[in-house]
Each structure stands twice: as structure tokens, then as C-alpha cells.
Amino acid sequence: MLQILRQIARTGIVTENPPAPAHDRVVSARLQERIVRTLGRALTIRHVDAGSCNGCELEIHALANPYYNIEGLGIKFVASPRHADLLLVTGPVSKHMAIALQRTYDATPDPKLVVAVGECGCSGGIFGESYASLGAVRNVIPVDVEIPGCPPTPTALLEGILAAISAAKPAIAGNAGNNANDDSSAAPEA
Amino acid sequence: MDFSRLKFATAALPAGVPARRCAVDGMGLLTSCRVAWEQGAHLVGLWGSDDRDRGRGFTIDVVVRDADGLVMFEHTLPDVDSTYPDLSIVFPAANRMQRATFDLLGIAADSDDQRPWVWQASWPIDCYPLRRDFEALAKWQPGQEEYAFVRVEGDGVHEIPVGPVHAGIIEPGHFRFQVVGEKVLRLEERLSFVHKGIEKRFEGMSAATGHRLAGRVSGDSTVAYAWAYSQALEAIAETTPSPRASWLRALALERERIANHLGDLGYLGNDGGFAFGLSQFSRLKEQVLRSNLELFGHRLAMDYVVPGGVTQDLPAGSRVGVADECSMLEREIRVLRDIYDEHDGLQDRFRLCGIVAPELAAKLGLTGLAGRASGQPHDVRCDFPAPPYGTLGVKIASASGGDVAARVAMRFDEIAESLRLVRAIVDGLPDGEFTVDVPPPKAFRKGLGYVEGWRGPVLVGLECGPEGTVRRCHPHDPSVANWPVLEHAVIGNIVPDFPLINKSFNLSYSGQDL
């Protein structure tokens, strides 16, 4: 036990400041100012690998390391889409993952955001569209933010995720409180 | 291997390691595999190719590894209705490779198991993507298949389906457990969810840029794949990379090994309930990746290894920084290893969990890191050292416990050896060019690349086409042989230990699925 405490004390805090959100990455107008008001800066993310080579996953893992410390920003990854505010989707969408991705999207309650990760998520990447690959994530489900890169660095990922939650729409009238009975919870069409 | 028992002639095969090729007929294929098995050889890969446009029917290529190198048996099937012998009676790992070959080419092994492996109701049943007359850009709606999982009957037996979408940030695959209470009676995997049509995508591509696709078969092994692809092309084009290029490639490969092992050690601690481990190891891994950005221009060194060499030279003055970083890592990891070894709770999870006994490992062809932890001491860097490994010498890590603890110990041992190699590389880096030109390869020449990636040996089989294109490329992941062994490793363990056992293997889904 002492050895563990000693190591923790020696390591200290290495967390760096988060980057500014990249507003030029916002692609759709589905974002709601209400998300920011309701959620503040906290967010739960469900990651879905729809066909990636696993490179993007490595950089997403890095977000949880002490340098980027995504949990320190109030953002955490969850196991169930039913608990998620944002879907972080990697890879070109392989044919064999299309149904699973659609079901995950449908199981995510509104209001929700979708961020497509990497060259493959944005455009199908080197795999493109074929008998086995449906290409970009936006070909299968609506996407709010796209983060290019092969793979995108953890900094680029954070910029994209923060862009998704901080971009604002003209205010929607409605309570910031109780969501369950709220009529204005349906996302307005873009 | 002693070829005198076989009545077939062998010839040299261009490859990154010693390799021979041997054309065989149907019975000869089975006999050759039996002889190879008796002499201690193991199956590395099996794939097919459509050569009807050259009047040669379909070709089945079977690559085995013996004490001397690789041997590729080539067998021709005259037409679509011909079959070849079931090699899984000699090499169990051949089962899924044969099923995949059927799904992609429509040529079958004479086997009782004709279940699809790649196909998931995703294209019409009598269409075969790797046939040359297949419309590659044709689009079909994805369907939903009914896969014939083996059920276990009995009182209190339950079935637990998991995936393809998994709880954590990992690749997708389906696991079907048969359990009594928490105890696993049987596990069956259904993979191919991230099948992206990589082999079809290779066809017609410029061979000079094929390393980019090879490096994206499994992103965590991008250096190993790009190197194996480059080896195959260079062998076909009869080009030898410069010494400096080989040493720099090894630098990238060893750092890839270190980064992945650090990440795994963190996650293995986490899966055992020890979040401190994840925090410490992920911190160290981040430092390695940041240094990689300076050394190679990319945190994962993706696209750094190219045919002919590497894309850039080491920045001037890197030697001291790299040596210091090695010293720092050695110090930190020594402390962390002590903490892991002394932590009773963690060791209680690791020890005797997910055991693969050496006899089973040998029978099933368990390869790479997991194989070494189960008494299969094979490592391409030691067995067939291509430059610079012959000069550097690599001490092989091995254990025989075959449990999670053994696979953890492998990672610690291999990090230590890789840090020693990284130091030796920057100290002894030869002068000269970091890349050479590779002339356009001749059409219809075949070659192999074989590189010890961090999980195990990566094989790339390459056949060039006219005008410097790729005619056929089969990238082969060590995970293909290892995935079936995981089904054995979990038997008798409890379901909550599955993430730990799975992570201790950390097999590639994308490399398996192609």
C-alpha cells in the first residue's frame, strides 16, 4: 500500500488544459442550445466501433489517460446507449455493423448528438464504399460533428466533442429542468 | 523441413524470411500438411485466389512455418465445383480459414463444417467477392443471418449473448456463452462484424502504395503490417532496403510493441479492479506516443514504414532523448511491476485464470505472445532474424503457466527486452540512406512478408499484377489462429473473468475479419 501511495505522490498531477472547441467542425444544425442548458458541461458518451481498424480506438482510450483526463471535464464513457447523450462512432460502417449501429442509435434517447471519428468515419477512408463497407457514418445515421484524422489525435477528439456540446442554436423556449414531461424535447428538423 | 518424403519439387520463394514453395495436388496437400505437422511445423495461413483469367482455375495457398522458415503449398482447383481436403484434421486453425475462403471465393474444403464465417447475409448467397468477375461496387442491403450456434442442453444451463457492440471502447464481435450460474460451460465466437472487404480493395491497387492499406488492417499493429507488406514487395522486386532503413523500421516496431504492452498492462490492472494501474501505465504510454510523434511524424508511426525504407530520418540529436526515455521507463516499470506482483487482490484475479495448457496450445497452434505464455517459444525476431535482429539478438520471453498471470509476465518481460533493443538501435544506427527505390515489380510474381508484431507474427502474401499493381494480397493476422483458443481458455472460468481473459489475449477483430 505504501508503495502505491508513494508512486501516486511522485507522479503528481499531469493533466493539461483542455483545447478550445473547433466550431468549424460542426456540420449539422441539429445541435440544441437546450443541451448546453440542460447538461451544462457534463456529458455521457457511448462509443461505437462500426468498422474501424482500431487505430481511432487507441486515441479514444488516450482521452482517459491522466494527460487529457476527459473525466475531469465531466465527460464519461458509458456502457449502454440508453444512458448516453452522445454517440462517438469510429470506422467506415461495415455492412455487418449497420444494423447494430442503427439499433444503438435508436436506443439512445433524445436529445442526442452523433460525432463521426476519423477519415473513415467522415468519408469511408481508405476502405471507401464497397460490397462490404457503407462508407461514412453519415450514410447510415445523422451526424452532428465530424473529426478528421487517421487517427485523430486525442486533442482533435476533444476539440470535436467539445464543439458538439458547446455549439449553440437560437434559444428554444422550454424548461431546463424536468425532461420527462417536456413537449419541447423533440429535436427540431434541421 | 525434410522434403524427401514428399514427391514434390520445391523452389525458393521471395520473402522477408527463408521461404520455399511447393505445388501439390489434392492428396498431396493433405499429406504435405501431415508431414509438416509431424516435423513440428505450424499452420500460418490459408487463402485462395481466382486464377481463371490465367487459365489456372482457383489456387489455394497454405503457408506453414517450420524450423527453417516458411513453406507455401500451392494447390490448383480446376473449377468452381472442385473441393480440396479438409486440413483442419491436421491443423484445427484451418477451420475458419477454409470457411472464409469459401465465403469469398466459393471453393470448399471437404469438411463437415460448412457454416459461413465471413458472410452474414450481406450479399447474395451465390456471389463471391474475391472472384474476379464480382462487381466490387455493387450494393446490397444488409440482411440478418441465423447463425447455428452450438447449444448446451441441461438443467440450469443459460445462454448469454454478448455483442457485437461491447460495453467498453473495443472492437465489435459476438460471444455466445453457455453458463451454469456464473461458470462458463462453453463459449462460441461469431466474428466478421468489421469485415471491410480489404482483400478486394487491394486488387488493382498500385503495389507501391499498398503498405497504406496493409497498415490499416489492424491499426495497433500498423508498423508490423506495413513492414510485412514492404518485405513481400521488396522480395518480389529483388530490392534490399538499406541497413539504416531496417534499423529504423525495427525502432518503430519495438516502440509499437512497448506502447501496446503498456496499454494492455494498464487495462489488465483495470479489469482486475486496480484503476491505479490504468492511470500509471496510460501515463507512460502517452509519453511513448508523444515521443513517437517527434521520431516518426505520427503517434502510432502509421505510414512511416514504406516499400524501400521509411519516410523520414531520425531527427538529429534524438539519441540522448530516446536513451533517457528508456531509462525513465525502465525505472517506472520496475516500480509498477513490483506493485502488481505484490498486490494480493490483483494476483488473485490473474493467477490460474484463463489457462491454456502447453499441450493444447501446441495442438491448436496458439501463436505469438499468448503462445509464448503457454510454452510455445516462437518469435520471428529470434527464429528467422531479418536485419537488424540478427545483429541485435533478441532474448525470447517465455512461460508455461498459460494463465492471465503468464500473459501479463510476458508483457513485462517483452517491454524490458524492447527497451534494451531501442537503446541498442539508437546507439548502433548505421549511417546511410533511410530509403531506397523499389523498381516496379514483375507481374504474377508472389512473395511473402513475415514480421513479429506485438501480438504475434503477421504474414502478408502478395502477388503482383501487370503494370505495378496488386493482383492479390492476403494480410494474415496472428489472431486468426488464436481466437478459437480463447473459446477453450474461458471454459470453467466465471463470466465476470471473461473481460480479463479476453484482454489478456487482446486479439484483433479487424485483423481477423479483414
Q: Give all strands (DSSP E) within B55-212, no chain letters.
A: 58-65, 70-77, 83-85, 108-110, 157-162, 174-180, 183-190
Instruction: Please state, in angstroms and as integers, the Cα–Cα distance from residue A165 to each residue in A31, A36, A40, A162, A174, following that order.
Output: 8, 6, 9, 5, 18
Contact B169 A60 (CB under 8 A): yes
Strands A145-147, A113-117: pairing kind: parallel
Pick from B11, B6, B34: which is nearest to B22 by CA?
A: B11
Chain position carrying cell 516435423: B39
Q: What is the mean pLDDT of residues B227-251?
A: 98
Q: How far is A9 from chain B (nearest CA, A)?
A: 12
Taking the C-alpha atoms of residue B442 and residue B147, their distance in angstroms, rounded to an integer, is 43
Contact B196 A132 (CB under 8 A): yes
Nearest CA in chain A to B166: A79
Helix (H, G, I), strand (E, B) or coil at A21: coil
Q: Is A54 on the interface with B (CB under 8 A)?
A: yes
Percentage above 70 pLDDT, chain B = 98
Question: 176-215 in B: which are within 8 Å (CB) of A?
Answer: 192-198, 200-201, 212-213
* Residues B299 and A153: beta-carbon distance below 8 Å: yes
Confidence of residue B298 (pLDDT cuts 50, 70, 90): very high
Contact B213 A47 (CB under 8 A): no
Q: What is the pLDDT of residues B254-264, one digit of tens each?
A: 999 999 999 99
Q: What is the pLDDT of residues B127-156, one digit of tens each?
A: 899 999 998 666 677 677 788 888 888 889
Strands B309-310, B305-306: pairing kind: antiparallel
Of A7, A64, A97, the CB nearest to B335: A7
Contact B194 A99 (CB under 8 A): no
Q: How far is B234 from chain A (nearest CA, A)?
A: 23
Q: What is the mean pLDDT of residues B211-239?
A: 98
- Give me the total of CB pairs closer than 8 Å, taking one residue from chain A and one from chain B: 164
Q: What average pLDDT does chain A have?
A: 81
What dihedral do alpha carbons A34, A63, A20, A27 form, nearest 10°? -60
Taking the C-alpha atoms of residue B220 and residue B239, their distance in angstroms, rounded to an integer, is 27
Of A64, A97, A127, the CB nearest to B164: A97
Residue B299 is predicted with a pLDDT of: 97
Confidence of residue B6 (pLDDT cuts 50, 70, 90): confident
Helix (H, G, I), strand (E, B) or coil at B186: strand
Is pLDDT at A39 greater than 70 in this prediction? no
Q: What is the mean pLDDT of residues B413-431?
A: 97
Q: What is the mean pLDDT of residues B308-334?
A: 96
Nearest CA in chain B to A105: B165
Taking the C-alpha atoms of residue B314 and residue B389, their distance in angstroms, rounded to an integer, is 19
Residue B137 is predicted with a pLDDT of: 62
Pick from B204, B506, B476, B274: which is nearest to B370 by CA?
A: B506
Q: Give all strands (DSSP E) within B191-244, no chain letters.
A: none
Residue B126 is predicted with a pLDDT of: 83
CB-CB neighbors (< 8 A) of A139 in chain B? none
CB-CB neighbors (< 8 A) of A13 in chain B? none
**Percent helix, percent strand, percent coil in chain A, to nearest 5:** 40, 15, 45
Q: Could you give the ipTM of this predicted complex?
A: 0.95
Nearest CA in chain B to A104: B165
Q: What is the pLDDT of residues A105-155, one digit of tens each?
A: 999 998 889 999 999 999 999 999 999 999 999 999 999 999 999 999 999
Percentage above 90 pLDDT, chain B = 91
Residue A40 is predicted with a pLDDT of: 64
Taking the C-alpha atoms of residue A113 and residue A5, their distance in angstroms, rounded to an integer, is 40
Percentage above 90 pLDDT, chain A = 59
Confidence of residue A21 (pLDDT cuts 50, 70, 90): low
Instruction: Please state, in angstroms and as integers, the Cα–Cα distance from residue B495 to each residue in A113, B156, B157, B275, B344, following that order.
Output: 33, 15, 13, 20, 21
Q: What is the mean pLDDT of residues B97-106?
A: 97
The grid coordinates of residue B129 equal 467477392
Confidence of residue B92 (pLDDT cuts 50, 70, 90): very high
Residue A22 is predicted with a pLDDT of: 64
What is the 3-class SS of B433-466, one letter each residue? Answer: CCECCCCCCCCCCEEEEEEECCCCEEEEEEEECH
Q: At what angle do helices B243-271 and B275-296 cross, to 10 degrees?
A: 160
